[in-house]
């Protein structure tokens, strides 16, 4: 299975899930909360300690920097939301040139009242389309992503999506659609350059 970079640590995945839930809850507070204040203080202490342990160079150890003192690069080919709370979590099934799945956006991704911010929908489409490409062992270096917003996309509701892709020589064109029931909320078309894994730059493995 296609990989480009290291898998995230289990504690990182656990943190991402908690951070996503906590952030959504904090955004819902009606009044000042001592719990939120305590949480912020704990996180500030953790930030200082983590900063001492993190690599001094924040650049990833990829390509010409693979032997540097930079940070480990985590695999972005699929399921980024499992370790990074800035990305949505989804379920997907790949069936050759087609893929389908579901996603529910928490309050963390709100734009207009009760609705998903359009920028997060673009991130979502980019993420699931590239997951589809990588699941078929092809990178999909994006050259263009066009998103059409057709109906408001609700938060906190299970939505379904479908993807279709076509390949001509080294060009991939994918179309993805996101539905709330039978209502088409948004549609994206991505064009990408296909390449094989051997063409990717070297990535430094995680260091002990």
The 10s digit of each residue's pLDDT in 87-120 is 999 999 999 999 999 999 999 999 999 999 999 9
Question: What pTM was computed for the model?
Answer: 0.93
Any domain includes 108: yes
- CA-CA distances (angstroms) from residue 46 to 20, 40, 53, 184? 17, 10, 11, 43
pLDDT score of 121 more than 80 = yes
Dist CA 151 CA 48 (whole Å): 43
Any domain includes 15: yes
Count of residues for the chain? 208
The total domain count for the chain is: 1
pLDDT score of 1 more than 70 = no
Q: Report which DSSP code applies to 76.
A: -
Any domain includes 154: yes
Any domain includes 121: yes
Any domain includes 5: no
pLDDT in tens, 26-67: 999 999 999 999 999 999 999 999 999 999 899 999 999 999
What is the residue range of 28's domain?
Answer: 10-199
pLDDT in tens, 138-187: 877 899 999 999 999 999 999 999 999 999 888 999 999 999 999 999 99
Dist CA 184 CA 161 (whole Å): 9
Any domain includes 45: yes
Q: In this structure, are strands 139-149 and 159-168 parallel, antiparallel, or unpaired?
A: unpaired
Any domain includes 4: no
Any domain includes 185: yes
Conformation bin of residue 121: beta by default, left when phi > 0, alpha when psi is -120 to 50: alpha
């Amino acid at each position: 299975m296609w990989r480009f970079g290291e898998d995230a640590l289990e504690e990182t995945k656990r943190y991402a899930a908690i951070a996503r839930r906590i952030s959504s809850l904090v955004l819902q507070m009606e009044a000042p909360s001592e719990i939120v204040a305590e949480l912020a203080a704990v996180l500030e202490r953790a930030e200082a300690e983590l900063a001492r342990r993190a690599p001094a160079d924040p650049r990833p150890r990829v390509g010409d920097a693979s032997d540097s003192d930079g940070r480990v690069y985590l695999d972005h080919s699929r399921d980024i939301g499992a370790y990074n709370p800035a990305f949505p979590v989804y379920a997907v099934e790949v069936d050759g040139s087609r893929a389908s799945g579901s996603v529910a956006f928490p309050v963390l991704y709100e734009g207009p009242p009760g609705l998903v911010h359009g920028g997060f929908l673009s991130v979502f489409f980019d993420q699931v389309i590239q997951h589809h490409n990588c699941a078929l062992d092809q990178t999909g270096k994006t050259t263009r992503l066009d998103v059409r917003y057709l109906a408001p996309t609700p938060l906190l509701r299970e939505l379904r999506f479908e993807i279709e892709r076509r390949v001509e020589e080294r060009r991939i064109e994918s179309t993805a659609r996101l539905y709330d029931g039978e209502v088409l909320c948004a549609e994206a078309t991505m064009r990408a350059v296909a390449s094989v894994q051997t063409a990717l730059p070297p990535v430094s493995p995680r260091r002990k």
